[in-house]
Amino acid sequence: MAKSKTSKKWMEEHVNDPYVKKAQADGYRSRASYKLIEINEKDNIIRPNSTVMDLGSAPGGWSQIIAPMVGDNGRVIASDILPMDGIPGVSFLQGDFTEAVVYEEILKMLGDEMVDTVVSDMAPNMSGVNTTDQYASMYLVELALDMARNVLKPNGAFCAKVFQGVGYEEYVKDVRSSFKQVIVRKPAASRPRSREVYLVAKGFKG
């Protein structure tokens, strides 16, 4: 019974969410689009003609705004375990990022090219058990950081959704070891009661 109450509360919150309504009005696939728009306005991590990797991309809220930002001479490589409808200028690979074969496929899509920015809005399927969910989400962001270290150009940027909790402080420290500057952002479109924040890391040390 508690679960359905929670689901009902989430549904009411979702339907009445001004960012959900705004996304529908603006033709964005997800309210998450506004998070990246705000981050980019502050931190300028997506630039014209650059190559961007979007991890955990479905339903496409981030890729949808990245593609026009990088323009025709830029490139966007996106991946998610869930399907995603096509977006012009975006190469999409569906698969489980935690599997080595999928990880390798993403690298294969990239070829010899290096990446300017890696963004990750990945989150695990939440079980409702806080500790389990926290470990699962930390595992995903650690993999995202590993990917960033593999593919980023020197001075490249990395932006990842991270949930505050067990392992968070250590993770921030780990990111700082590879980047010159790390900023923690809580975009306006991020629900206030959510533990999610976005780490924005700039100046990859290579």
Catalytic residue numbers? 161
The dihedrals phi and psi of 73, each to the nearest 5 degrees, come to: -95, 0
| Residue 162 bridge partners (DSSP) | 197
**Helical ranges in 116-167 per DSSP H:** 130-151
Distance CA 159, CA 62 (A): 12
Distance CA 113, CA 91 (A): 14
Other CB atoms within a 10 A radius of the CB of residue 151 amount to 20
Distance CA 98, CA 34 (A): 27
Say if CB 115 and CB 157 are below 8 A apart.
Answer: no
Distance CA 189, CA 30 (A): 11
Would you say 174 is a known binding-site residue?
Answer: no
Would you say 80 is a known binding-site residue?
Answer: yes
For residue 117 the two structure tokens come to 């920015």
Would you say 62 is a known binding-site residue?
Answer: yes
**By CB neighbour count within 10 A (0-12 exposed, 13-18 middle, 19+ buried), where does 170 fall?**
exposed
The dihedrals phi and psi of 146, each to the nearest 5 degrees, come to: -60, -45
Per the annotation, where are the binding residues for S-adenosyl-L-methionine?
60, 62, 80, 96, 121
Per the annotation, where are the binding residues?
60, 62, 80, 96, 121
